[in-house]
Amino acid sequence: MKTRIRELRARAGFTQEELAQKVGVRRETIVFLEKGKYNPSLKLAYRVSRALGSTIEEVFSFEDEDLA
């Protein structure tokens, strides 16, 4: 999975810690999400997207190979 969290977070002016606090997770979770090392639950994806003022589709994208 690819994400635009880092880009959108920077545009919104949030640090990783600030975004983590807004969505109720640890900073390390945001780090893993930004690196594509963690697939969020739908609930977490929704909370991250809302905090960034975006839709889930704008923040997260799946590669064809991810769906296989």
Examine residue 66 and state whether it is found in any structural domain, yes or no. Answer: no
Residue 67, pLDDT > 90, answer no
Domain that holds residue 12: 2-60
Grouping H, G, I as helix, E, B as strand and the rest as coil, residue 60 is strand
What pLDDT, in 10s, does the model give residues 14-66? 999 999 999 999 999 999 999 999 999 999 999 999 999 999 999 999 776 55
What pLDDT sits at residue 62?
78
Examine residue 32 and state whether it is found in any structural domain, yes or no. Answer: yes
Examine residue 46 and state whether it is found in any structural domain, yes or no. Answer: yes
Examine residue 68 and state whether it is found in any structural domain, yes or no. Answer: no
| CATH code, 53 | 1.10.260.40
Contacts of the segment 8-13: beta carbons below 8 A, 24+ positions apart: 8/52, 8/53, 8/54, 8/58, 8/59, 9/34, 9/52, 12/51, 12/52, 12/53
What is the reported pTM? 0.87
Count of structural domains within the chain: 1
